[in-house]
Amino acid sequence: MQIKTINPSASKRILCTKSLPGDRWISLLTEAGFSLDIVTEERVPSKSELLELVGDSCYAVIGQLSETWDEECVRKLGAAGCKVYANYAVGYNNVDTACAKELGIAVCNTPGVLTHTTAEMGVALTFAAARRVAEGDKFMREGKFSGWLPRLLRGNLLYRKTLGLIGAGRIGSSYARMMVMGHQMNCLYASPSPKLPMENQLREFHRFMGNSSAFVTHVENIDTLLKESDVIALFPTLNPTTVHLINAPRLALCKSDAVLINMSRGQVIDEKALVEHLKTHPRFLCGLDVYEQEPDLAPGLSELPNVVLAAHTGSASYEARENMATLCALNIIGVSREYPPFSGDSMDPFLADSPPLFTPSVVA
């Protein structure tokens, strides 16, 4: 694979499996005394290529969510003297963290700096699906528009409807605030425990707006949420309990004209079942940013008019992607200097000119 090397005379080598946006991350690492091998090809490396890229000596890796760092790859890292694997993502289910922990390799991620960007993309997908934006775009480009018509491309009004949120972590909570406070929606949400700060903020908003009948409620039964929600937004973490969380029986519980969006991981939805449901329920609308067998789509999905397909671009704002690179660099520097893990809620201090002497986010 094609590689660009920066600061080759430094003794500690970092492998970055993609060219990342911005320059600050490069400056931070070179000023800290690291050399960088940056893969410049815009494709996902194969397993054999990853093993070859690691080589015989590698202090740290900045890897991607699209790469599978399984036990064999992680043991290769250990043999090469690797001390840090920095995932250029919030999620890290692509890494064998148990093996990394066994070998003393710190696994880091990039939370906090892409929260609002990803939540905004969720909002964009919600309205693109609800108001049939992609259908309208295609309609116009094909020259089919002959003028305004009463029934043309009608979609769903979301004002004061009910949002069903599954997963109320940082990103899910941010999305809920945007939807509820922007459109006065009710909110049912499912999470392992109640999110009282979010609940209180949204309830206070409804009080301020005089919405006496509005509700913000934590539910333990996802089936109830699916039955009662006009918008179903998926933001759960991926684990054995959330694989195919949305399957054929649960899709059957949804309102026939509900809007479903997935900003989590593709495996949360049984994509084959989703295709069948979309075929048989033409008013059921869907927006997806992630896919079960990414980058491949389930057969028939791309042919359906009632689904909007995004290219896993939830965090793809200029600011977020550069900040993610900065966090990767600071994670590596923090581990190398034995800085303690950061315990604060906001990553903003690490984006300042003089970041604190902590490691931003160590997950294993």
Residues 23 and 103 in one domain: yes
Number of CB atoms found within 10 A of residue 146's CB? 7
pLDDT-derived band at 33, boundaries 50, 70, 90 = very high
Q: Please report the pLDDT score of residue 226 as a whole number.
A: 99
CATH of the domain at 24: 3.40.50.720
Q: Single out the residue in 309, 335, 359 at which a domain terminates.
A: 309
Q: For residue 68, give Cα distances in angstroms to 2, 46, 53, 92, 93.
A: 20, 9, 14, 10, 9
- So what's the pLDDT on residue 298? 98
The answer to whether residue 42 is domain-embedded is: yes
**Nearest one of 259, 26, 245 to 122, comparing CA atoms:** 259
Q: Rounded to 10 degrees, what is the CA torsion of 92, 95, 99, 102?
A: -40
- Residue 18, φ and ψ in degrees, nearest 5: -145, 155
Q: Omega of the bond prior to 249 within 30 degrees of 0, cis? A: no
Residue 345, pLDDT > 90, answer no
Residues 189, 234 within the same domain: yes
**Residues 233 and 292 occupy one common structural domain:** yes
Residues labelled as active-site residues: 265, 294, 312
Question: Exposed (0-12), middle (13-18) or buried (19+): which is 144, by Cβ within 10 Å?
Answer: exposed
Strand partners of residue 86 = 62, 108
| Mean local confidence (pLDDT), 29-48 | 97
Same domain? 54 vs 96: yes
Q: Final residue of a domain: which of 309, 333, 359?
A: 309
Region 156-174 average pLDDT: 98
Residue showing tokens 């937004």: 233
User: Both 120 and 250 in a single domain?
Assistant: yes
Residue 342 belongs to a domain? yes
Mean pLDDT confidence for 291-310: 98
Closest by CA to 88, choosing from 105, 67, 119, is 67
Provide the β-strand partners of residue 61: 15, 85
Q: What is the mean pLDDT of residues 143-150?
A: 98
On whether residue 146 sits in a domain, the answer given is yes
Clarify whether residues 82 and 152 are in a common domain. Answer: no
pLDDT tens digits, 51-101: 999 999 999 999 999 999 999 999 999 999 999 999 999 999 999 999 999
User: What's the sign of the alpha-carbon dihedral 191, 212, 175, 270?
Assistant: positive
Q: By percentage, how much of the chain surpasses pLDDT 70?
A: 100
Contact between 57 and 13 (Cβ < 8 Å)? yes
**In the predicted structure, residue 166 carries a pLDDT above the cut 90:** yes
| 358 falls within a domain | no
Task: Say if residue 278 is in the same domain as residue 344.
Answer: no
Is residue 362 domain-resident? no
Residue 361 lies in a domain: no
Structural domain contains residue 363: no
298 in the same domain as 262: yes
Q: Write the single-letter amino acid at 226.
A: L
Mean pLDDT for all residues in the chain:
98
Within-domain flag for 356: no
> How many separate domains does the chain show?
2
Q: Mean pLDDT across the stretch 171-190?
A: 98
| Same-domain status, 230 and 189 | yes
Whether 211 and 281 map to the same domain: the answer is yes
The answer to whether 29 touches 86, Cβ cutoff 8 Å, is no
Same domain, 108 and 127: no
Residue ending a domain, among 277, 292, 309, is 309
The pLDDT value recorded for residue 288 is 99
Determine the structural domain holding residue 302 and report its residue range: 115-309
Is it the case that residue 188 has pLDDT exceeding 90?
A: yes
Together in a domain, 302 and 154: yes
